[in-house]
Amino acid sequence: MERVGIIANPGKPIIQSLIPWLLQWLEEKVMKPSLTDSLAESIDDDRLRDHCRVVESEPMVVKEVDWVIAIGGDGTLLKTARLVGGSDIPILGVNTGTLGFMMQTTPDELIVALDHIVQGAYFLDTRLVLQAHVNGGRGSVGGLGKIYSALNDIVIDKGAICRVIEMTLLVNGEYVNTVIGDGLIISTPTGSTAYSLASGGPIVVPELEAMILSPICPHSLSNRAMVLSSHDRVALEVRADHPDLMLTIDGQESVLIQPGDCIELWRAPYTIKLIRYPGRSFYDVLRTKLKWGER
């Protein structure tokens, strides 16, 4: 029996009707759903509830499952990716948010996606993950800080004070440039359509193995977005005349960093697998979300 994890925001109105329908479908296909007790509260049918594996927390939902359904916006998928980590568990994204660049389907088309999965007529998109640690700051332990992982991006930001910061950029140990501005976004191709795009960075197809560096409000016209190889190792030495700068990982986690800290970034040794079915491509999503071709 296949085991399917379900991650969703119980506060979304559509969840109240979608979850019982989804559980009924999974039961008919002899699949065992795993979900949190807060999600299970939307189930009025005791028989359906008994068929589920109900757990206390979302990290437990993705334990010992074959694949995961993430229902919400891109933030829900990013959270699910963090929960899945390097386990290679595939994720099907169901968009109930606004943009949903990473989501494969919608509630109205969910049955189509599920039928493709049952028939084995789907692909697994392999998405690169970035990792980083902070040397010399509060997160540092014995010279090596906690390792942070991001499917979308890692952002160095000036914090609450409206003063610029300086970031010395080194690639594979070689000095490249000093970026002066409000911060810097280091994104994966998956994250190229997120904060990086809003800051003037390029759209990069997810299949490319690359890192995109996009300055935030740079104080020099010569500071432009750069696309590096995913095999490069990046180091950023941060200088500022005020404390409490911010390092943000996928918009999910924020860490205070200090002037003088060095943030090192590299490609993670694992990838995230996103379920995609025929007829839904990256370019289809771009046309829909960015309204390309409309007059």
Q: Give 262's strand partners.
A: 135, 237
pTM: 0.91
Count of CB atoms situated within 10 Å of the CB of 228: 18
CB 225 within 8 A of CB 192: no
Q: What is the pLDDT of residues 124-167, one digit of tens each?
A: 999 999 999 998 644 343 445 689 999 999 999 998 888 999 99
Q: Which pLDDT does position 280 carry in this prediction? A: 77
Residues 6+ away with beta carbon under 8 Å from 212: 185, 186, 187, 188, 189, 191, 192, 196, 201, 202, 204, 225, 226, 227, 228
State mean pLDDT over 104-130.
Answer: 94
- Using CA of residue 39, residue 45, residue 46, residue 51, what is the dihedral sign? negative
**Which CATH class for the 129-269 domain?**
mainly beta
Any idea which fold 2-122+277-290 has? Rossmann fold (3.40.50)
Stretch 250-254: mean pLDDT: 94
User: Looking at residue 42, what is its pLDDT?
Assistant: 74
88 assigned to active site = no
- Residue in the block written with tokens 């998405």: 127
**Percent of the chain at pLDDT exceeding 90:** 73
Residue 207, Cα to own-chain centre: how many angstroms?
15
The helix (H) or strand (E) run that includes residue 242 is none
How deeply is 291 buried, as exposed, middle or buried, from its count of CB atoms within 10 A (0-12, 13-18, 19+)?
A: exposed
- The mean pLDDT of 201-206, rounded to a whole number, is 95
Model confidence at 261: pLDDT above 60: yes
Report the chain's mean pLDDT, rounded to a whole number.
91
The 10s digit of each residue's pLDDT in 7-64 is 998 777 888 889 999 999 999 999 999 999 988 887 888 888 888 999 999 999 999 9
Segments making up each domain of the chain, as ranges? 2-122+277-290, 129-269
pLDDT at 138: 42
- Residue of 44, 74, 125, 244 marked catalytic: 74
Q: Which residue has the tokens 């992982």?
A: 149
Question: Residue 145: what pLDDT?
Answer: 63
pLDDT at 293: 83
